């Protein structure tokens, strides 16, 4: 499994609106792409800014290409990203997932 990680920053006053936008665009498109194994969107508010980490999990590099195109190291942006983001980082990072654990659920006794 491969983790694809993107980082972006907004002003904190736009962070809720940007999160809604990400849910309708990038998250929706990732989840609809064959080979996607899940998406996490993380947010941290710091000094008037909101930092976002978008982590998507994929079964293979070929699956990532279905979402991102041939140049998988390039970030995927949507038309209104410029309205929200402070700078557009052109690249993403990919990591091989070496361990992954689903939470275990126990019935209450």
**Mean pLDDT along residues 74-99:** 94
pTM of the model: 0.88
Question: 23: which DSSP letter?
Answer: I
Confidence label for 107 from pLDDT (cuts 50, 70 and 90): low
Pairing outcome for strands 49-58 and 93-96: unpaired
pLDDT the model gives residue 108: 58
DSSP state string for 31-63: HHSTTEEEEEEEEEEETTEEEEEEEEEES-HHH
User: For residues 10 and 52, is the Cβ–Cβ distance under 8 A?
Assistant: yes
Domains and CATH numbers, the chain: 2-96 (3.30.70.100)
Q: How far apart are CA 15 and CA 52, in angstroms?
A: 9
Of the candidate ranges 14-18, 55-59, 89-93, 100-104, the one whose mean pLDDT is the lowest:
100-104
Pairing outcome for strands 2-11 and 93-96: antiparallel
What are 19-59's pLDDT values in tens digits?
Answer: 999 999 999 999 999 999 999 999 999 999 999 999 999 99
């Amino acid at each position: 499994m491969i983790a694809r990680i993107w980082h972006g920053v907004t002003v904190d006053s736009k962070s809720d609106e940007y999160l809604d936008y990400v849910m309708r665009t990038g998250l929706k498109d990732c989840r609809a792409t064959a080979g996607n194994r899940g998406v996490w969107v993380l947010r941290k508010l710091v000094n008037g800014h909101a930092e976002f980490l978008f982590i998507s999990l994929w079964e293979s590099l070929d699956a990532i290409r279905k979402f991102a195109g041939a140049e998988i190291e390039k970030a995927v942006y949507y038309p209104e990203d410029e309205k929200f983001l402070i700078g557009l980082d052109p690249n993403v990072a990919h990591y091989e997932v070496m361990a992954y654990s689903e939470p275990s659920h126990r019935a209450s006794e």
